[in-house]
Structure 1
Amino acid sequence: MFKHLIKLIWNRRKKNSLFLAEIVVSFMVIFILSSFLIFYYQNYRKSLGFNYENVWVLRYSNPPELKEIDSLVRYYDQVRNVLKSAPQVKSYSFSGGNFPYSNSISNSNLDYKDKSFTGVNVYSIEGDYPKVMETELVAGRWFTAEDSLNKHKPILITKTLSQEMFGADNPIGKITGKAEKEAEIIGVINDIKSDGDYLPSGNSMFSQLKPGDVKWAGRILIRVSPDADAAFESNLYKLLSNTMKGSSIELSHLYDIRASRNRQTTTPMLIFAIIASFLVFNVSLGLFGVLWYNINQRKGEIGLRRAIGASAFAVNRQLVTEALILTTFSLLIGVFFAIQFPLLKVFDLKSSVYFIAIFISCIFIYLLVFICALYPGKQAAAIMPAMALHEE
């Protein structure tokens, strides 16, 4: 039977070319969309590595009249006293401009023996940072005040970076970098997804802010109690404004910054999904029309099959099977192009993401063609032999 169907398809290859092209294009669109959706979903399932709830971000600038380091240190000591005295402030930490969801980039290379890791995300923080962000320590310890006196610069790294650098070996106490850039690993924390819920965590390291570094830190991360409301926020802003005279300050919520960062990621994909949906809908109408047209052109053939004893079910099955076989030929072409994505590292996603997307796209296309072929096949099966032969 299949040999006979393939022969029929081959004899109508010119008329089936449009069908083939529509399936290949639809498959590629669904494949690309599925790849990104799977990529986002896999990242979304992973832990954030910190808690953004009830964290406020204070952006500040240095007062122009203060130039000396000692003056700035005393100035920000007053800010610390204000934050300590605020009843609903649980903890705080000065931070560089690179913090979770900040859209700010601070990268560096991290070397260990013959290994070199580029594009490592660098966070400059204070010792109370784990209380503010509620990050989880996997091994080692956090920064202490005495670390600023160490010969080597103390750093913490994320779990994935530790595994890539040292494998199963204990990273604590290892010296990274060269010459004046040598640093000692004192702790390992869980990976953090700083670019949003849908993007990977990436490799990260944490360095300690010294007292004099507050002049360029520019941010204070503040964890407040859950009952902190708009009234407290207004009072805190007034207190800080009165204390930080000459500075421009801005208070925002990490929850809102996260939502904005996620929108930057999902909006382009949502637009692409809408466009893909319209395309698939139009292709569905096209497939339905092509199948309907082909059936109308084959009334004589269908009538003859019915006249020699073929049942309505057999006719319906033949037409649906023809469509699925033709779909298989189209998918073989589409899969050939899709396999090039992991080989050429297009979009730089994991190979498993592409293969799952190929499987999902094939299932989707088969279901789409089956549904589009089902009704025309049913209509063909209802053709009366006498009427079809009479028209011929």
Structure 2
Amino acid sequence: MSSNQWEIGPIFRALMRNKVGAILIAIQIAVTMTIVVNSIFIILERATKIERESGIDEINSFYLTTTGFGSNFDPKSTATNDLELIRSTAGVLDAIQINAIPVSGGGWSMSFQTEPGEEKETEGAAIYMVDEHGINALDLEVIAGENFAAGDVRWRPAGVRDWPDNVIITKVLAESLFPDIGYQDVVGKTIYIQQNEPMIVKGIVDKIQAPWVGWDDLEHTVLTPEITEFESNRYYIRAQPGQRDAIMPIIEEALASSNKQRIIRGMRTVQETRERSYRADTAMIKILSTTMIILTIVTGLGIVGLASFSVNRRKKQIGTRRALGASQQAIVRYFMLENFLISTVGVLLGAVLTVGLNMLLVNIFSLNALDWYFVPAGMLVLWLVGQIAVFGPAKKAANIPPALATRTV
């Protein structure tokens, strides 16, 4: 009897006699592959999303909000004095008043177009109101044009609806608005806000993200040269490297002492804000990772259980084969091949289910389509898990003595 006859024939007949166990393991492998492959794809997408650079100096920056009260509270003089105080504090690299914080989840947005009038193609963009210190405070890089001058900056009282004449926009927004020219040539071009109000592009910055991390146009951002004249103001402070935590309480105390007609609240680092904004993505990664580990372990244990049951049920058959001259390696190979055949059925079914689940996720949740190489990679991993799981029972079977064949029950 040849090696192939010994292995393939008996394996197939043995599986037919225990179809339920083999089918259950194959289905378990298929389900595990379906969930694991799609989970890995989602985890990688979420991790890539979390790791996107915001374009600002997150490590050394923090912000806080002041809210004035009382009939004598003057927003304009308060903002002027606050900025002078903060910028003169030891350890502060720069500071600005700003209407919103990148990656914070809340802010302002408007639509922009390259031609005036209704029904023209528009691009949405987040708006950050900053003064001439904005580029340095946010740690942005001007890659074309120039920064705002002090004379460009205006005060914006509450209720004002018009916009400044000059703006700075991101490279991505420049390329979206003017796809037919290089971003360098966008400097000096006119764009329109509110359908017909012109604004001259004074500069282009490399990158600064909008506040909304789930937005498709995350790098569509506009800087306007304005300081808000509101009762509630937000200050963004960039500290010298390594000085952030030390100067946070100093700034808070100095502002509280300088003006008793306001409260200081919401002081938070940009890193903490980023973590809060991506909390749902981080939780999803943890949940999917835990699910993957549990499923893989359960599948491995199922394979071990089926193989152990098969060994115990066929001890005399294995002893007979040993008595007829089968080597221990042949016995191990028998059970490894048996598991490989079961796993093959499972991963082939899993490949179909994996693609089907991904198509469902794409249609319902607008996720990206699964990259082709995830399916064969998942098949290889499940094959490997199966071979590792069955190796222990296979070694146990190989150690069954030939003398067992002569024993009676």
Q: TM (normalized to structure 2)?
A: 0.78
In structure 1, which of residues 78, 82, 92 is the aligned counterpart of residue 85 of structure 2? 82
Report the counterpart of residue 48 of structure 2 in structure 1: 42
Report the counterpart of residue 170 of structure 2 in structure 1: 158
Distance apart, 1:357 and its partner CA = 4.1
Distance apart, 1:310 and its partner CA = 3.0
Report the counterpart of residue 310 of structure 1 in structure 2: 326
Determine the C-alpha separation between the residues in 2 that align with 1:229 and 1:49. Answer: 18
Determine the C-alpha separation between the residues in 2 that align with 1:8 and 1:195. Answer: 62
Contact 1:56-1:223 within 8 A present in 2 as well: yes
Structure 1 residues 157 and 350, CA gap change in structure 2 (3 angstroms): farther
Contact 2:192-2:198 within 8 A present in 1 as well: yes
Where do 1:159-198 residues align within 5 Å? 159-167=171-179, 169-171=181-183, 172=186, 173=189, 175-176=191-192, 179-180=195-196, 183-192=199-208
Report the counterpart of residue 367 of structure 1 in structure 2: 384
Report the counterpart of residue 32 of structure 1 in structure 2: 38
Distance apart, 1:201 and its partner CA = 8.1
In structure 1, which of residues 16, 32, 37 is the aligned counterpart of residue 22 of structure 2? 16
Structure 1 residues 13 and 229, CA gap change in structure 2 (3 angstroms): closer
Contact 1:63-1:246 within 8 A present in 2 as well: yes
Distance apart, 1:329 and its partner CA = 1.7
Contact 1:193-1:200 within 8 A present in 2 as well: no
Distance apart, 1:200 and its partner CA = 8.6
2:102 alignment partner AA: P
Report the counterpart of residue 296 of structure 1 in structure 2: 312
**Count of matched residue positions in the alignment of Structure 1 and Structure 2:** 385
Q: TM (normalized to structure 1)?
A: 0.81
Contact 1:57-1:220 within 8 A present in 2 as well: yes
2:171 alignment partner AA: K
Report the counterpart of residue 225 of structure 1 in structure 2: 240
Structure 1 residues 84 and 105, CA gap change in structure 2 (3 angstroms): closer
Determine the C-alpha separation between the residues in 2 that align with 1:196 and 1:389. Answer: 75
Where do 1:52-201 residues align within 5 Å? 52-65=58-71, 71-96=74-99, 98-111=100-113, 115-117=121-123, 120-145=125-150, 147=152, 154-167=166-179, 169-171=181-183, 172=186, 173=189, 175-176=191-192, 179-180=195-196, 183-192=199-208
Q: Specify the SS of the correspondent of 1:373.
A: helix
1:37 alignment partner AA: I
Structure 1 residues 208 and 322, CA gap change in structure 2 (3 angstroms): same
Distance apart, 1:221 and its partner CA = 0.5
Contact 2:168-2:224 within 8 A present in 1 as well: no
In structure 2, which of residues 347, 354, 365 is the aligned counterpart of residue 331 of structure 1? 347
Q: Specify the SS of the correspondent of 1:280.
A: helix
Contact 1:125-1:206 within 8 A present in 2 as well: no
Distance apart, 1:108 and its partner CA = 4.1
| Residue 384, structure 1, aligned to residue 398, structure 2 | no
Contact 2:62-2:244 within 8 A present in 1 as well: no
Report the counterpart of residue 262 of structure 2 in structure 1: 247
Q: Specify the SS of the correspondent of 1:127.
A: coil
Contact 1:140-1:188 within 8 A present in 2 as well: yes
Contact 1:48-1:191 within 8 A present in 2 as well: yes
1:55 alignment partner AA: S
Cα RMSD after superposing both structures = 3.7
Distance apart, 1:180 and its partner CA = 3.1
Determine the C-alpha separation between the residues in 2 that align with 1:199 and 1:294. Answer: 54
Determine the C-alpha separation between the residues in 2 that align with 1:8 and 1:109. Answer: 69
Q: Specify the SS of the correspondent of 2:59.
A: coil
Contact 1:50-1:136 within 8 A present in 2 as well: no
1:378 alignment partner AA: K
Determine the C-alpha separation between the residues in 2 that align with 1:179 and 1:115. Answer: 10
Q: Specify the SS of the correspondent of 1:252.
A: strand
Q: Specify the SS of the correspondent of 1:220.
A: strand
Structure 1 residues 224 and 356, CA gap change in structure 2 (3 angstroms): same
Determine the C-alpha separation between the residues in 1 that align with 2:259 and 2:76. Answer: 13
Contact 1:40-1:199 within 8 A present in 2 as well: no
1:34 alignment partner AA: I
Structure 1 residues 313 and 268, CA gap change in structure 2 (3 angstroms): same
Contact 2:339-2:390 within 8 A present in 1 as well: yes
1:31 alignment partner AA: V
Determine the C-alpha separation between the residues in 2 that align with 1:202 and 1:59. Answer: 24
1:302 alignment partner AA: I
Determine the C-alpha separation between the residues in 1 that align with 2:13 and 2:70. Answer: 84
Determine the C-alpha separation between the residues in 1 that align with 2:401 and 2:88. Answer: 90
Structure 1 residues 51 and 30, CA gap change in structure 2 (3 angstroms): same
